[in-house]
Amino acid sequence: MNQLHRLPLESKLLPLQPSRIAMDGTFEGYASLFRMPDLGKDIVEPGAFRESLARRGPAGVRLLWQHDPAEPLGRWLSLIEDSRGLFVRGRLSLAVARAREIHALMRDGAIDGLSIGFRPEKARSEPRTGLRRLERVDLWEISIVTFPMLPQARISAVKAMQRPAAFA
């Protein structure tokens, strides 16, 4: 069995709210925000993604639908850890039927979540509060999902698919 299948993965869900529409299926926003407890009582600390991003880069992190490895939607163009959190920019592969459907739902505001799939590498629990501080994670994928875990994280832009002239 492949080592990838033996490691426990965790998912963190984040909302996305489209605010602008343009032309090519590109979207961006924060997939994680630092020092904010999510509904699962996890807090991602600044620097938690640094090593994983250096090792994997955007090409090594998958863009999926609902964490399903059989449902890739496109690819990540950039993943940047800044002072606020993990800023992501991705592009849906609009030649794929599911990606077109998700894109339409994102533009309509019906799909409003992002979720990180990761393996914790260094974390510490706070028994008094029940919080877990994630100090280093191995980021495997970021999914577009239905139900968010961290309501404060938002997508900042969704670009629209250009309509063929016959439908304009």
Q: Which of 52, 67, 81, 103 is catalytic?
A: 67
- Is 135 catalytic? The answer is no
- Is 115 catalytic? The answer is yes
Q: Which of 52, 81, 103, 141 is catalytic?
A: 141
Q: Could you tell me which of 56, 112, 62, 113 has the C-alpha nearest to residue 81? A: 56
Q: Which residues partner with 158 through β-bridges? A: 27
Q: State how far the Cα of 16 lies from the Cα of 120, in Å rounded to an integer.
A: 24
- Is 19 catalytic? The answer is no
Tokens 């629209």 appear where? 160
Q: Which of 32, 52, 115, 143 is catalytic?
A: 115
E strand or H helix at 140: strand 131-145
What is the 3-state composition of the chain as percent helix, strand, coil, each rounded to the nearest 5? 15, 45, 35
Catalytic residues: 67, 115, 141
